[in-house]
Amino acid sequence: MNTCKLHLFTWIGSGKQEEHSTLRPICPTHPEAQLKINVGVDKRLVVTCPEQGEHLVTMCSQVEFEAEKQQARELLEKLVG
Ligand SMILES: [Zn+2]
């Protein structure tokens, strides 16, 4: 698995096209933790980490999330070659 740090999140994924479903954001402090993504009342995504009593990683819009996921996908693909 490779990681890349972008504006909103640090992303982890294999970079292989057939494994894109595994691409996900991670907590910079707890890279092993599985983050929770909830949709807030204002439709913003609230991304939290279950470690250390559950703390906020980032809040962003769904559009921002998808855009950054796409960016991470392209970067990780380049890493794999
Ligand atoms: Zn954390």
Q: Residue 20: what pLDDT? A: 64
CA distances 77 to 4, 28, 80, Å, are: 11, 21, 5
Average pLDDT of span 5-23: 87
Average pLDDT of span 48-54: 97
Q: What is the pTM of this model?
A: 0.88
Expressed in angstroms and rounded, the spacing between residue 81 Cα and the centre of ligand 1 is 30
Contact 33/26 with Cβ under 8 angstroms?
Answer: yes
Number of domains in the chain: 1
If you write DSSP's letter for every residue of 3-72 in order, what string do you get? EEE-SS-EEEE---GGGGGG-EEE-SS-TTS--EEEE-TTS-EEEEESSSS-EEEEEE-HHHHHHHHHHH
Q: Residue 30: what pLDDT? A: 97
Expressed in angstroms and rounded, the spacing between residue 41 Cα and the centre of ligand 1 is 23
Residue 44 belongs to what domain range?
2-80
Average pLDDT of span 29-56: 95
Q: Residue 24: what pLDDT? A: 94
Expressed in angstroms and rounded, the spacing between residue 74 Cα and the centre of ligand 1 is 25
